[in-house]
Amino acid sequence: MPPGQSPWYRLPIFAFEQGHFSAKGISSHIMKGLSLPGVPLLTEKQKEAFALFRALANELALDIPFQQGDLQILNNHVMLHSRRPYEDWPQPERKRHLLRIWLRSARVRPVPAPVRENLLGIKVEGFMARAPLKTEPDSIAA
């Protein structure tokens, strides 16, 4: 977080930017953010809207089972998605290996300013992001 910048920001769950619809299903971010100093509490109307949003998300959810080798491509700005809890296999050769990749394009659709400003996440000095590609348990360095 840059010096002088607040550790939180306002972000609409639904918005239109230059005629393009955007949605962010960020309920866990909202709940975590409410515990930060200076974050305004939700109004009664916001609580009601938030409860309706969560109820509709559960009611309208579609479970898509993954099979080995499946590829799923989603646009995080228009498709709300989540993962349900799962129980992994105890045998190392059967353990789940899920690789998530966020792709960025110079021709990204218009999104609200707070979304655009946070697309790249945060930078932590001295940290280099990396993702292990091997699936064998002993090949993944801790």
Tens-binned pLDDT, residue by residue, of the chain (142 aa)? 567 777 777 877 888 889 988 887 777 778 888 888 889 999 999 889 888 888 988 898 888 888 888 888 888 787 888 777 888 889 988 888 777 777 777 677 788 887 777 766 666 677 776 666 665 555 444 4
- Amino acid 142: pLDDT: 44
Residue whose C-alpha is closest to residue 65's, from 96, 23, 26, 93: 96
- Amino acid 44: pLDDT: 95
């809207």: which residue's tokens? 49
- Phi first, then psi, for residue 2 (nearest 5°) are -60, 150
- Could you give the CA distance from residue 136 to residue 61 in angstroms, rounded to a whole number? 33
- Could you give the CA distance from residue 131 to residue 142 in angstroms, rounded to a whole number? 11
